[in-house]
Structure 1
Amino acid sequence: MKRKYLAATIALAAVLATGACSASVSVGSKQVAADKVAAQMSSQLAATVGKAPDDVTCPEGLDAEVDATVTCTLTDQGTKYDVTGTVTSVDGDNVKFDVQVADTPQS
Protein backbone atom coordinates (compact mmCIF):
# COMPACT_ATOMS: atom_id res chain seq x y z
CA MET A 1 0.00 0.00 0.00
CA LYS A 2 2.77 2.42 0.93
CA ARG A 3 4.58 1.70 -2.36
CA LYS A 4 1.39 2.33 -4.38
CA TYR A 5 0.84 5.66 -2.57
CA LEU A 6 4.47 6.65 -3.20
CA ALA A 7 4.12 5.81 -6.90
CA ALA A 8 0.96 7.95 -7.15
CA THR A 9 2.72 10.80 -5.37
CA ILE A 10 5.68 10.59 -7.73
CA ALA A 11 3.33 10.51 -10.72
CA LEU A 12 1.43 13.54 -9.45
CA ALA A 13 4.70 15.37 -8.86
CA ALA A 14 5.75 14.61 -12.44
CA VAL A 15 2.53 16.09 -13.80
CA LEU A 16 2.78 19.05 -11.48
CA ALA A 17 6.26 19.72 -12.82
CA THR A 18 5.30 19.55 -16.48
CA GLY A 19 1.61 18.88 -16.65
CA ALA A 20 -1.11 20.24 -18.77
CA CYS A 21 -4.46 18.69 -19.48
CA SER A 22 -7.79 19.74 -20.89
CA ALA A 23 -11.20 19.98 -19.30
CA SER A 24 -14.68 20.63 -20.60
CA VAL A 25 -17.76 21.87 -18.76
CA SER A 26 -21.23 23.02 -19.66
CA VAL A 27 -22.39 26.41 -18.50
CA GLY A 28 -25.73 28.12 -18.48
CA SER A 29 -24.27 31.62 -18.40
CA LYS A 30 -21.20 33.43 -19.65
CA GLN A 31 -18.98 32.10 -16.85
CA VAL A 32 -18.00 28.71 -15.45
CA ALA A 33 -18.52 28.80 -11.68
CA ALA A 34 -15.38 28.65 -9.54
CA ASP A 35 -16.40 25.36 -7.91
CA LYS A 36 -16.99 23.73 -11.32
CA VAL A 37 -13.59 24.88 -12.58
CA ALA A 38 -11.91 23.49 -9.45
CA ALA A 39 -13.76 20.18 -9.68
CA GLN A 40 -12.90 19.77 -13.37
CA MET A 41 -9.24 20.60 -12.74
CA SER A 42 -9.10 18.00 -9.98
CA SER A 43 -10.84 15.38 -12.15
CA GLN A 44 -8.55 15.96 -15.10
CA LEU A 45 -5.42 15.75 -12.97
CA ALA A 46 -6.75 12.53 -11.41
CA ALA A 47 -7.38 11.09 -14.88
CA THR A 48 -3.87 12.06 -15.97
CA VAL A 49 -1.93 10.73 -12.97
CA GLY A 50 -4.35 8.37 -11.26
CA LYS A 51 -4.63 10.47 -8.10
CA ALA A 52 -6.54 13.66 -7.47
CA PRO A 53 -4.81 16.46 -5.56
CA ASP A 54 -5.95 16.99 -1.99
CA ASP A 55 -7.73 20.23 -2.93
CA VAL A 56 -8.21 22.75 -5.72
CA THR A 57 -9.81 26.12 -4.98
CA CYS A 58 -10.50 28.96 -7.38
CA PRO A 59 -11.04 32.56 -6.23
CA GLU A 60 -13.48 33.27 -9.06
CA GLY A 61 -15.19 31.72 -12.06
CA LEU A 62 -13.76 31.38 -15.54
CA ASP A 63 -15.23 33.62 -18.24
CA ALA A 64 -16.66 31.65 -21.16
CA GLU A 65 -14.51 33.31 -23.83
CA VAL A 66 -11.43 32.06 -25.65
CA ASP A 67 -8.14 32.93 -23.90
CA ALA A 68 -9.86 33.85 -20.62
CA THR A 69 -7.86 32.58 -17.63
CA VAL A 70 -8.25 31.93 -13.94
CA THR A 71 -5.47 31.04 -11.51
CA CYS A 72 -6.47 28.63 -8.78
CA THR A 73 -4.59 26.98 -5.92
CA LEU A 74 -3.86 23.27 -5.95
CA THR A 75 -2.89 21.66 -2.64
CA ASP A 76 -1.26 18.24 -2.46
CA GLN A 77 0.34 16.84 0.69
CA GLY A 78 0.50 20.33 2.19
CA THR A 79 2.30 21.88 -0.79
CA LYS A 80 0.46 24.56 -2.77
CA TYR A 81 0.83 25.24 -6.49
CA ASP A 82 -0.76 27.75 -8.84
CA VAL A 83 -2.88 26.00 -11.44
CA THR A 84 -4.17 28.01 -14.38
CA GLY A 85 -7.21 27.30 -16.52
CA THR A 86 -7.21 28.88 -20.00
CA VAL A 87 -10.27 28.68 -22.23
CA THR A 88 -9.46 27.10 -25.60
CA SER A 89 -12.95 27.02 -27.12
CA VAL A 90 -16.57 27.85 -26.44
CA ASP A 91 -19.35 26.05 -28.31
CA GLY A 92 -22.72 27.23 -27.05
CA ASP A 93 -22.81 26.19 -23.39
CA ASN A 94 -19.74 23.93 -23.69
CA VAL A 95 -16.48 25.51 -22.49
CA LYS A 96 -13.17 23.72 -23.00
CA PHE A 97 -10.08 24.81 -21.14
CA ASP A 98 -6.49 23.71 -20.66
CA VAL A 99 -5.14 23.12 -17.18
CA GLN A 100 -1.51 24.06 -16.45
CA VAL A 101 0.15 23.47 -13.09
CA ALA A 102 3.06 25.72 -12.13
CA ASP A 103 6.53 24.14 -12.16
CA THR A 104 7.34 25.28 -8.64
CA PRO A 105 5.33 25.52 -5.41
CA GLN A 106 3.96 28.81 -4.12
CA SER A 107 6.35 30.61 -1.83
Structure 2
Amino acid sequence: MTTAGLRTAAWSLTCLTAGALLVGCSASAGSGDAEPKLSSDKLADTVAQKLADTTGRPKPDVTCPEDLTGKVGTTTRCTLTADDGSSLGVTVTVSSVDGDRINFDIKADETASPAAN
Protein backbone atom coordinates (compact mmCIF):
# COMPACT_ATOMS: atom_id res chain seq x y z
CA MET A 1 0.00 0.00 0.00
CA THR A 2 1.35 3.45 -0.88
CA THR A 3 1.90 6.20 1.66
CA ALA A 4 -1.16 8.05 0.34
CA GLY A 5 -3.17 4.85 0.65
CA LEU A 6 -2.01 4.42 4.23
CA ARG A 7 -3.04 8.00 5.05
CA THR A 8 -6.43 7.44 3.45
CA ALA A 9 -6.88 4.14 5.26
CA ALA A 10 -5.90 5.80 8.53
CA TRP A 11 -8.36 8.65 7.91
CA SER A 12 -11.11 6.18 6.98
CA LEU A 13 -10.43 4.16 10.10
CA THR A 14 -10.55 7.33 12.17
CA CYS A 15 -13.86 8.28 10.54
CA LEU A 16 -15.21 4.82 11.19
CA THR A 17 -14.35 5.27 14.84
CA ALA A 18 -16.07 8.66 14.79
CA GLY A 19 -19.02 7.04 13.03
CA ALA A 20 -19.48 4.70 15.94
CA LEU A 21 -19.92 7.73 18.18
CA LEU A 22 -22.76 10.17 18.26
CA VAL A 23 -21.11 13.55 18.73
CA GLY A 24 -23.02 16.54 20.08
CA CYS A 25 -22.47 20.06 18.78
CA SER A 26 -24.09 23.42 19.00
CA ALA A 27 -23.90 26.69 17.15
CA SER A 28 -25.64 30.04 17.29
CA ALA A 29 -27.88 30.86 14.39
CA GLY A 30 -29.23 34.13 13.12
CA SER A 31 -32.20 35.36 15.13
CA GLY A 32 -35.32 37.07 13.93
CA ASP A 33 -36.98 34.04 12.37
CA ALA A 34 -39.66 31.99 14.12
CA GLU A 35 -37.19 29.10 13.90
CA PRO A 36 -33.46 29.88 13.90
CA LYS A 37 -31.40 28.70 10.92
CA LEU A 38 -27.73 27.83 10.73
CA SER A 39 -26.21 28.55 7.32
CA SER A 40 -24.88 25.60 5.35
CA ASP A 41 -21.36 27.09 5.41
CA LYS A 42 -21.34 27.58 9.19
CA LEU A 43 -22.82 24.12 9.68
CA ALA A 44 -20.10 22.55 7.49
CA ASP A 45 -17.38 24.45 9.37
CA THR A 46 -18.79 23.43 12.77
CA VAL A 47 -19.11 19.76 11.75
CA ALA A 48 -15.55 19.73 10.32
CA GLN A 49 -14.12 21.29 13.48
CA LYS A 50 -15.98 18.86 15.76
CA LEU A 51 -14.79 15.87 13.72
CA ALA A 52 -11.21 17.19 13.89
CA ASP A 53 -11.48 17.73 17.65
CA THR A 54 -12.99 14.27 18.18
CA THR A 55 -10.49 12.37 16.02
CA GLY A 56 -7.33 14.40 16.64
CA ARG A 57 -6.87 14.70 12.85
CA PRO A 58 -6.68 17.86 10.71
CA LYS A 59 -9.96 19.59 9.93
CA PRO A 60 -11.55 17.69 7.00
CA ASP A 61 -13.30 19.15 3.95
CA VAL A 62 -17.02 19.05 4.78
CA THR A 63 -19.87 20.43 2.68
CA CYS A 64 -23.54 20.69 3.63
CA PRO A 65 -26.17 21.22 0.92
CA GLU A 66 -28.64 23.30 2.92
CA ASP A 67 -29.14 25.49 5.96
CA LEU A 68 -30.12 23.70 9.17
CA THR A 69 -33.50 24.77 10.59
CA GLY A 70 -33.63 24.87 14.37
CA LYS A 71 -36.49 22.46 14.86
CA VAL A 72 -35.96 19.34 16.99
CA GLY A 73 -35.71 16.25 14.80
CA THR A 74 -34.68 18.11 11.63
CA THR A 75 -31.91 16.28 9.78
CA THR A 76 -29.58 17.04 6.91
CA ARG A 77 -26.77 15.13 5.24
CA CYS A 78 -23.31 16.61 4.87
CA THR A 79 -20.38 15.09 2.98
CA LEU A 80 -16.79 14.73 4.15
CA THR A 81 -14.37 14.49 1.21
CA ALA A 82 -10.89 13.01 1.73
CA ASP A 83 -7.75 14.12 -0.13
CA ASP A 84 -8.04 11.10 -2.45
CA GLY A 85 -11.59 12.05 -3.47
CA SER A 86 -13.36 9.38 -1.44
CA SER A 87 -16.30 10.62 0.59
CA LEU A 88 -18.14 9.85 3.78
CA GLY A 89 -21.70 10.88 4.60
CA VAL A 90 -22.41 12.67 7.87
CA THR A 91 -25.91 12.91 9.31
CA VAL A 92 -26.74 16.03 11.34
CA THR A 93 -29.83 15.89 13.59
CA VAL A 94 -31.18 18.78 15.68
CA SER A 95 -31.44 17.59 19.29
CA SER A 96 -32.64 20.81 20.96
CA VAL A 97 -32.98 24.54 20.43
CA ASP A 98 -32.33 27.22 23.04
CA GLY A 99 -33.18 30.66 21.68
CA ASP A 100 -30.90 31.13 18.68
CA ARG A 101 -28.60 28.23 19.72
CA ILE A 102 -29.17 25.03 17.75
CA ASN A 103 -27.85 21.89 19.43
CA PHE A 104 -27.28 18.97 17.11
CA ASP A 105 -25.74 15.52 16.93
CA ILE A 106 -23.48 14.36 14.13
CA LYS A 107 -22.89 10.78 13.05
CA ALA A 108 -20.52 9.74 10.31
CA ASP A 109 -21.46 6.79 8.11
CA GLU A 110 -19.58 3.59 8.72
CA THR A 111 -18.55 3.11 5.09
CA ALA A 112 -16.83 5.58 2.75
CA SER A 113 -17.65 5.88 -0.94
CA PRO A 114 -14.66 5.50 -3.29
CA ALA A 115 -13.44 8.41 -5.39
CA ALA A 116 -15.07 8.84 -8.77
CA ASN A 117 -12.76 7.87 -11.64
Which TM-score band applies after superposition, normalised by the shorter structure?
0.7 to 0.9
Post-superposition, which runs of at least 4 consecutive aligned residues in structure 1 deviate over 4 A? Answer: none
Q: CA RMSD in A?
A: 2.4
Does the aligned pair in 1 maintain the 2:16–2:110 contact within 8 Å? no
Q: Aligned pair count?
A: 104
Matches within 5 A, 1:1-107: 9=11, 12-29=14-31, 30-77=36-83, 78-106=85-113
Q: Residue deviations 1:28-82, cap 9 Å, x none? A: 1421100111011111111111114531001101111101011011112322011
Identity %: 37
Instruction: Please identify which structure carries the higher strand content.
Output: 1
* Mapped contact 1:25–1:95 kept (Cα < 8 A): yes
| Shift in Å, 1:104 | 1.0
So what's the TM-score if we normalise by structure 1? 0.82
> In 1, are the aligned partners of 2:95 and 2:103 still within 8 Å (CA)?
yes
Give the TM-score of the pair, scaled to structure 2. Answer: 0.76
**In 1, distance between residues paired with 2:78 and 2:12?**
22
Structure 1 or 2, whichever has the larger Rg, is: 2
